[in-house]
Each structure stands twice: as structure tokens, then as C-alpha cells.
Amino acid sequence: MSDKNDLLFARAQKTTPGGVNSPVRAFRSVGGTPRFISRANGPYFWDAEDKRYIDYIGSWGPAIVGHAHPEVILAVQEAAARGLSFGAPTEGEIDMAEEICKLVPSVEQVRLVSSGTEATMSALRLARGATRRDKIIKFEGCYHGHADSLLVKAGSGLLTFGNPTSAGVPEDFSKHTLVLDYNNCEQLEEVFKSVGEQIACVIVEPVAGNMNLIRATPAFLQTMRRLCTEHGSVLIFDEVMCGFRVGLHGAQALYGVQADLTCLGKVIGGGLPVAAFGGRADLMAHMAPIGGVYQAGTLSGNPVAVAAGMTTLKLIQQKGFYEHLSAQTRKLVDGLSAIAQEVGVDFCADAVGGMFGLYFSKEIPDSYATMMATDKERFNRFFHLMLDSGVYLAPSAFEAGFVSAQHDDAVIDATLSAAKHAFTQL
């Protein structure tokens, strides 16, 4: 007899394309039936069969203080009691803007939105409006949401504009997007030398999380910063995923490279829909209502979501928070690597702050091409062995994982125990 997850998935597919509201949830990459989550607390969640899992996706990043943190829940309850949405300014929006400007070194002004896609889409429009240029550069393997200009893969040559990766994206949108190799300084130099005066912006994940976890090299980001400055192009850091995940002041503080515009999300909503884009005041002055670049949203700065995000931002500033988070994440990846080496499986792992990546390869990937060369089938088998043991990893070899402050030593040890069994079964 099918369990409740099977029944729910069959039911969902009748009214929702693929049975899910975001594609990776469908388990198409790893196979099998997705788990339908009924509740969560701390480092755990429970599926429709009431089976408990150690959760390593954390709502894809936001649950940095753990699921259903009492202070976050209380803040949401109090905000909800005052009203769910007003369509008018609130003091909470000012509080969040001030907090972001305080924490992110390059942000002087910020605009709140409701999703990471909205943030990156708006930042691109702002960069184009401010520079009066159309061309943009993105990098193979970086995901910046599902705006038309960004659903583009590499073209056939270095100066060939990219091709759409989704049906419904017109060629006219993608023809303005150049797609280069991540961590390739030489390509950047060559493209700017050729068409630098036509480039509105470069958008990049300084710590990529959507081709698994891949770090930018310092030289890559420094080259990008220098070329954008020389050619009057806008440098956009997409820190929707890594912002407040790799450190309190974001990836740009770790690298010592400041962006002109920064996109944030996930952690700043604490599990509810809040995102933001911000940067230099002279660039933000191009935004309506004081400038000619239009952007609007009925639920932007929603008071309930802002309450969750502000409480989360206060919690992550507690003394020792990131030291503990980083130590637990490092304990996880080092433990997994040691077990794999012991049993003779080609495997490696990496971590930055509370983000981590697992790779079935001999070396940590540094680009989309090297990530594609990893053993994805072996990852899929590992994923299901861990799932059966009550450990929920990202259901794709191309997604980073996330540790929360509630993943204590007992949780990490239980994960490593499950992994020891899984590695021996591969």
C-alpha cells in the first residue's frame, strides 16, 4: 500500500504541474517520491508519514537559526495580530533597511521586494537604466532566478550571446546576455577588451550555490571589480543565497571586494518571503519614485515577513553565532570526507560558513564544467540511502546544503553514523 507521501504526490500532480510549485522539489534529479513536509522544529522536519529527518536544506537557506525558533514565531504572531498587509509604509521596513545598510559594507540604500528573482531582475533593470546600456555578463552555472534575461546558457563562442534555457524566453532577451565560465579571469579580460563600453553589468554569485557549492577565487572577483570600474559597468553580487549564510557581512566582506549592487534574500526573511536589492546611493537614486527605473510590489516589505526577518537578523548577531555555525558545518564535511576516504569512495566536500557542498569526485569543483564531471549517479544512490536513514540532503547533485545553529554535535554525529552505512553500500 502506498504511503501518504505517494498519495499526496499523485493527488498534487492532478492540479499542479509536476505535482510541485518549484521544480527541484519533484525529485526528478534523484528519482523517487518527494516527501511532503508536515511540520519542522530545530534541525528536523517530519513528513506526511510522521517520519523525522535531519534537515540539511533549511528551506534552501533561510532556517539559519533552526526551524520554528520561538523568538521568530513570537515576532510573527505579534505582527500578524496587528494586520497582515497594508499596502502602505511601516516602521518595520525602515528598521530592516537600516539593519541591512549597517551589516553589508557596500549598501547605502536598499529596496525591499518579495523574492530573490524579483531582487535580481530589478537590479539588472537598475543597472541598465543607470548606464543606458543593454548587455550583461553572467556565468555558467550561476542561477539568479527565473527572469527572462537570466535563463540563459553559454553560446557557441566567447563573444556569442547566450541561448535560452527555458521555453518561453525570446531570443531577443537572451541576445543581450553573455555567458562566461565561472572563475575564468582571462575570458573576462577578453570580453571587456572587446565590448566593455557596451556592458551594463556583471552579475555573479560570489559563493555559488546552484551548481553545488563553488567558491569564487579572489582573483576572479578582483578582476571583475577592476574591469567594471574601468569600463563604467555595474558589479552586482547575487547574495540571495550566500548573504548572511557565509558570514555576518556577506561574501563581499570575506573577499574584501565591494559590489555596486547587492541582492539579498532567504535569511533576511527568516522563512517568509522577503528579499532586497541595494547599493550605492547614486545608483539607487535612479529608482522610482525619484528616478526613471520603475519597480513596485504590493507585498514588498510585508510587515509579518519583515518581523520574521528582523528577528532572525538579531539572532545571528549574537556573540559566537558564526563561529559555532562554521564549526558545525566544518565538522560535518570533514567527517563525511574522512568516512569516504576510509571506505575508498571518491568523494570530497567543502564549506563556507553555514553552506556546504558534497561532490563525488577526487577534487572540489571550481566551475560548472568540473561540477558536471562529478559522479551524479553515485550521489543519487547516496541521497536515497541517507534519506532512508532519516537524513534529508538536497535532492540534486547541483544544490548546496545548509546547516543551522540547531545542528548540535548529536545531530552531526547521527548524520555521520548514517553516512558510514551509506558509503559502504555504494
Strands 199-204 and 135-139: parallel
The CA dihedral of 295, 143, 244, 373, to the nearest 10 degrees, is -170
Asked if the peptide bond before residue 289 counts as cis, ω within 30 degrees of 0, the response is yes
Q: From CA 29, how far away is CA 24, in angstroms rounded?
A: 7
- Does the annotation mark 375 as catalytic? no
Q: From CA 63, how far away is CA 45, in angstroms rounded?
A: 12
The radius of gyration of the chain's CA atoms, rounded to the nearest angstrom, is: 21
Q: From CA 69, how far away is CA 87, in angstroms rounded?
A: 28
Q: From CA 133, how far away is CA 233, in angstroms rounded?
A: 9
- Does the annotation mark 420 as catalytic? no
Of 44, 143, 182, 368, the active-site residue reads 143
Contact at 8 Å (CB) between 345 and 423?
A: yes
Taken in order 281, 282, 283, 285, the sign of the CA dihedral is: positive
Q: C-alpha cell of 357?
A: 557542498
Of 135, 138, 266, 331, the active-site residue reads 266
The owner of cell 518561453 is 168
Q: C-alpha cell of 80?
A: 500578524
- Does the annotation mark 181 as catalytic? no
Of 238, 260, 350, 366, the active-site residue reads 238
Q: Residues with catalytic annotation? A: 143, 238, 266
